[in-house]
Amino acid sequence: MEFQLLTNSPVNDADILILPVPWEKTVCYKHGTALAPAAILEVTDQLEYYEEDIAWSPMKYMQVCVLESVAPHKDEIQFHANLINIVNKLPTDNLFIALGGEHSITPSLIKGRMPKNGSVIYLDAHADLRQSYQGSEYSHACAAYQILSQEHSLIMVGIRSVFEPEVQYLSEITTFMDRGLNIEQVIKCINELTGPVWLTIDMDVFDPALVPGVGTPQPGGINWYQCLDILEAVFFNKNIELYGMDIVELIPEPSHVSETIAAKLMQKAISFWGKAKGFDHRKQNGSQIIMDNK
Ligand SMILES: [Mn+2]
């Protein structure tokens, strides 16, 4: 698979690593998230190379590699062990973006890639703080609890569906409930972060009128520009080290709007990261140039 139909660079040369993780095991309502990585990458073909917010063409300056998809496994414990092992061996001097699959992949991605005592910015409609769900502690409903168990702190944004016993945890972590969300306060909180950071975006954080293609939709939700404001705050904070991000819980749908939003979100992340790292002042040796010279 490719990003914007660009030839994949060797893993060690790539500035951007994209890992498809089509894992779907514990979803409880609508199915299809295993199809999301391929659907998101397919619609990247419809995006312009030029990114209008920063006003540059990031792929003229950066090389991209879409890695081989992580294979599913009938045993979920084995699957997560494989996933941790795969991401642990990848080079770290890059922007790492995993495409889910369900939200249960996030704790394993973090475990394989980020040192302890980091901060995880968690955009989601649901609190995901159950200790186990339907017999599995690897359920997508437990992802945030697993992250807490790994000794990371959480900043949760967009929450609007909570199981009563989760309330106790929510009160102990930084939580921005969806109703009355003050995006300036979220940005202030992100600006104050230091050290290791991970960004996880459950696509159900968006208004389902905007992104209907999710497994467990909830009314309310953030809009496109609020999400971009959060993204900018993360990528332009020079006091953090971003170990990676993931986009999860998308289900491709007939209009392709949901997967287009996920694809453009990925492009914005690449653009903001590249700009913050000063790639726009480097030699033009990116995937787009390599392709044009072929
Ligand atoms: Mn979630």
- For the chain, give the secondary structure using H, E and C: CCCCCCCCCCHHHCCEEEEEECCCCCCCCCCCHHHHHHHHHHHHHHCCCCECCCCECHHHCCCEEECCCCCCCCCHHHHHHHHHHHHHCCCCCCEEEEEECCCCHHHHHHHHHCCCCCEEEEECCECCCCCCECCECCCHHHHHHHHHHCCCEEEEEEECECCHHHHHHHHHCEEEECCCCCHHHHHHHHHCCCEEEEEEEEHHHECCCCCCCECCCCCCCECHHHHHHHHHHHHCCCCEEEEEEEEECECCCCCCHHHHHHHHHHHHHHHHHHHHCCHHHCCCCCHHHHHHCC
User: Does the pTM of the predicted model rise above 0.85?
Assistant: yes
Ligand 1 centroid distance, CA of 53 (Å): 28
Does the residue 2 lie in any domain?
A: no
Does the residue 156 lie in any domain?
A: yes
- Could you list the residue range(s) of the whole structural domain that residue 19 is in? 11-292
Ligand 1 centroid distance, CA of 216 (Å): 9
Copy the structure tokens of residue 77. Answer: 């414990």
Which CATH number belongs to the domain containing residue 144 in this structure?
3.40.800.10
Burial class (CB in 10 A: 0-12, 13-18, 19+), 219: exposed
Ligand 1 centroid distance, CA of 251 (Å): 13
Copy the structure tokens of residue 137. Answer: 């502690």
Does the residue 1 lie in any domain?
A: no
Ligand 1 centroid distance, CA of 162 (Å): 11
Does the residue 285 lie in any domain?
A: yes
Ligand 1 centroid distance, CA of 202 (Å): 5
- Position of tokens 């973090």? 110
Copy the structure tokens of residue 84. Answer: 């941790």
Q: How far is CA 96 from the centre of its chain?
A: 9
Does the residue 192 lie in any domain?
A: yes
pLDDT tens digits in sequence order for the chain, 294 residues long: 999 999 999 999 999 999 999 999 877 778 999 999 999 999 999 999 999 999 999 999 999 999 999 999 999 999 999 999 999 999 999 999 999 999 999 999 999 999 999 999 999 999 999 999 998 888 999 999 999 999 999 999 999 999 999 999 999 999 999 999 999 999 999 999 999 999 999 999 999 999 999 999 999 999 999 999 999 999 999 999 999 999 999 999 999 999 999 999 999 999 999 999 999 999 999 999 998 887
Does the residue 45 lie in any domain?
A: yes
The whole-angstrom separation of Cα 226 and Cα 36 is 23
Ligand 1 centroid distance, CA of 163 (Å): 13
Does the residue 3 lie in any domain?
A: no
Domain count, the chain: 1
Ligand 1 centroid distance, CA of 154 (Å): 13
Contact in structure between 8 and 64 (CB atoms under 8 Å): yes
Ligand 1 centroid distance, CA of 45 (Å): 27
Does the residue 212 lie in any domain?
A: yes
Residue 89's pLDDT is what?
A: 98
Residue 183's pLDDT is what?
A: 97
Residue 160's pLDDT is what?
A: 98
The whole-angstrom separation of Cα 171 and Cα 169 is 5
